[in-house]
Amino acid sequence: MNNLAVLILTKNEEKNIAETIQSARQCTDEVILIDSGSTDRTVEIAEKAGARVVYRAWTNDFSAQRNFGLSATDATWVLYLDADEHLTPELASAIRRATEPGAEPAAYRMLRLCCAFGKTFRHGVIGPNWVTRLFPRTEVTWVNQVHEHPECSLQEKTLPGYMEHYTYADWRSWERKMSLYSTLWAENAFRQGRRTSLGGIFGHSAGSFFKMLILKLGFLDGALGTYLCFLNFSYTMMKYLKLHELQRTAANKKEA
């Protein structure tokens, strides 16, 4: 039994997956892809790189995919990576130390730097953020369909080093992801009983813009960073517009 398994969610990641697996293998030989039906060479490339691939049909639920991965290994620890994330050597070394046999159980967070459109961002919408990704396998459960997060009762600790997140290669990938995420967010929010008004839509959007541009210093990343703050205004507005549309449709059905 391996002490650590790295779990990676994939669908059509042939451009990224080889480097991500290579990065993961700095920590362990057990790298597992939870694939949701890739139609490109993702599976072929992953298996040639020494990873194991398991399949779970996509159900519009990121947490379900991550939780399924827990059943694909009997390793003591699990580390979650996205298909476009790479560990630096310093972080990989810290992960190995934290998961040595007999290590104290904890939930470990790590710094993530976003690299997009040929630039590393230090502020604003896709500035550095902390992600908790390393857990004892039996101590974590993921919740929420989109913008999912882990629930773990163990003490949270911080690892040195950082990971690099190569998130958006071009504006088409940004557009596709924001369209998907806004839809999943609205559907999940509606199911949880959240509601909004036309005034609330604008208020949330304006508040998000102010937070990213001013409070999170998005303007310090120059014209591109500022532009992303405007795009985040549009993304937030789209989330709440879709939520408003769902509640309006539900109300119309009740009246019919």
| Domain locations in the chain as residue ranges | 4-166, 171-255
Q: Give residues with Cβ within 8 angstroms of 256, minimum separation 6.
A: none
- The predicted structure's pLDDT at residue 169: 79
- The predicted structure's pLDDT at residue 24: 97
Segments in the chain forming alpha helices (H)? 17-24, 42-48, 62-70, 89-98, 171-191, 198-210, 222-255
- Is 70 exceeded by the pLDDT of residue 1? no
- Is 80 exceeded by the pLDDT of residue 193? yes
More confident residue, 255 or 180: 180
Residue written as token pair 């398994």: 5
- Length of the chain in terms of residues written: 256
- Is 90 exceeded by the pLDDT of residue 254? no
Pull the structure tokens for residue 69: 């991965």
Pull the structure tokens for residue 193: 């009983």
- The predicted structure's pLDDT at residue 118: 85
Q: Which helix (H) or strand (E) holds 163?
A: strand 156-166
Distance separating alpha carbons of residues 51 and 68, to the nearest angstrom: 17
The CATH architecture annotation of domain 4-166 reads Alpha-Beta Complex (3.90)
- Residue 149 vs residues 113, 117, 134, 142: alpha-carbon distances, Å: 18, 26, 12, 6
Which three-class secondary structure state does DSSP give residue 51? coil
Mean residue pLDDT of the chain comes to 94
Closest CA to 6 of 87, 64, 60, 100: 87
Q: List, in sequence order, every residue forming a beta bridge with 131; answer none if it has no partner.
A: 110
**Model pTM score:** 0.83
Q: 110-136, pLDDT tens digit by residue?
A: 999 999 888 889 999 999 999 999 999
- Is 90 exceeded by the pLDDT of residue 147? no
Q: List, in sequence order, every residue forming a beta bridge with 111; answer none if it has no partner.
A: 130, 162
Q: Give residues with Cβ within 8 angstroms of 191, minimum separation 6.
A: none
Distance separating alpha carbons of residues 122 and 213, to the nearest angstrom: 12
